[in-house]
Amino acid sequence: MCTIFCNRCPKNENGFINPAAGMCYEEYQAWLLKNEANALKTEVEDGWKVPQSTYWLYVDGRPVGIGKLRHCLTERLRQEGGHIGYAIAPEARGQGYGRLLLKGLLAEARTRGIHRALVTVHNNDNPASIRVALSCGGVVGEVNDERYLIWLDTSEA
């Protein structure tokens, strides 16, 4: 079921990288194991790859969203990635699922001791994600040529 979702979401849309796009079932299984290992690690690799957990949002038994929560930030991630990234399947957009998923990711961040979570949003092609982050209590910390950097208090999730 999730492989179908991964193939519905583009490989790279609005800065959200979907590495499972186009994978067959066997590749998807290996990807899931890699994600599990990534969530359990504690060290930073290559100066910026931090531990990260992946979550799914299901509605009526079907996956409609995927979210990633980085457990910590590096300097690079403070500018380009943030703590949280998420994507909603194209056919499920505009129904409030982005807000629901972001709220859930903020609650998970809080359980990991993250009190302020950063979401970075491409500013030229993703106004919906900016609206979602702001509707969840986000405060714009910076806007540059490429991104909005929006901070969210996890205690409000």
Domain ranges, ordered by start, for the chain: 2-156
Segment 18-64, tens digit of pLDDT: 666 676 778 878 878 888 888 888 888 887 789 999 998 999 988 88
Task: Report d(CA 106, CA 156) in Å as an integer.
Answer: 8
Nearest Cα neighbor of 39 from 66, 68, 13, 17 is 68
pLDDT of residue 61: 86
Q: Residue 84, exposed/middle/buried by CB under 10 A (0-12, 13-18, 19+)?
A: buried
Helix (H, G, I), strand (E, B) or coil at 2: helix
3-class SS of residue 142: strand
Q: Are 67 and 54 in contact (CB under 8 A)?
A: yes
The CATH class of 2-156 is alpha beta
Residue 99: pLDDT over 70: yes
Q: What mean pLDDT do residues 73-82 have?
A: 91
Between CA 104 and CA 21 the distance in angstroms is: 23
Helix (H) or strand (E) segment spanning residue 55: strand 52-59
How does residue 6 score in pLDDT terms, banded at 50, 70 and 90? low
pTM: 0.84
